Structure 1
Amino acid sequence: MYGIVEIQGQQFKVEKDQRLFVHHIKDVAEGDSLEFEKVLLLDQDGEVRVGAPTVEGAKVVCEVIRPLVKGKKVLVFHKKRRKGYRKLKGHRQQFTQLSVKEIVG
């Protein structure tokens, strides 16, 4: 059984006991339980239910494993040749790690 769920504007294919990284969710603690009700598609043993726009009565229950995880550093480098212009900026995206406990449909 799997489902496609929308979490903070992004769509994820989720299965039970799967771990996933989503954009940072504020005001959650380790061990908290979250429910996401924007389930766009459900597949139960080959029977596919597609929502219009969401599947009614379906939800995905997740548990917060780590509330703040930093991603890899992304470097952005700008340069104009022969002008002496160089600029380097870095960015680390923040994520929340979740574990899917159950898919209710």
Structure 2
Amino acid sequence: MPYAIFSTGGAQFRAEPGVTIKVPLLAAEPGSKVTFDQVLLASDGKQVHAGKPVVKGAKVTAEIVRHGKGKKIKIYRFARRTGYRRHGGHRQQFTEIKIADVKLKGD
């Protein structure tokens, strides 16, 4: 089975056709197609192609399923003896994508 490791949003992800993964928020509508060309490593099931730094001609195409927010994390700052207390929270936004195809340069 072909697979690839690609980079988007400062993180790296493993992609296989038919798999759904969460990536940092992308500026595209759900249902649209996106292409990732920053492929760091690609395999066709027989050979592995490593990039220097990217594999030329390799692409990962995916369809955007939905946008969402991750689990909330709580932030609390505290300084002793001064009465200084601050609290807040953060929910990281993400885009869920379904990998449609992994192409090497010869495909």
TM-score by length of 1: 0.90
- Counterpart position of 2:57: 57
| Larger strand fraction of residues | 1
TM-score by length of 2: 0.89
TM-superposed CA distance for 1:6, in Å, is 0.9
Detail structure 1 runs of 4+ shifted over 3 Å in the superposition: none
- Counterpart position of 1:32: 32
Identify unmatched segments of 5+ residues in structure 1. Answer: none
TM-superposed CA distance for 1:38, in Å, is 0.9
Identity of aligned residues (%): 37
- Counterpart position of 1:74: 73
Identify unmatched segments of 5+ residues in structure 2. Answer: none
1:104 pairs with 2:96? no
Give the Cα separation in 2 of the matches to 1:61 and 1:12: 13
- The aligned amino acid for 1:87 is R
TM-superposed CA distance for 1:52, in Å, is 1.2
For 1:12-51, what aligned pairs fall within 5 Å after superposition? 12-26=13-27, 28-51=28-51
- Counterpart position of 1:90: 89
Residue-pair matches, total: 103
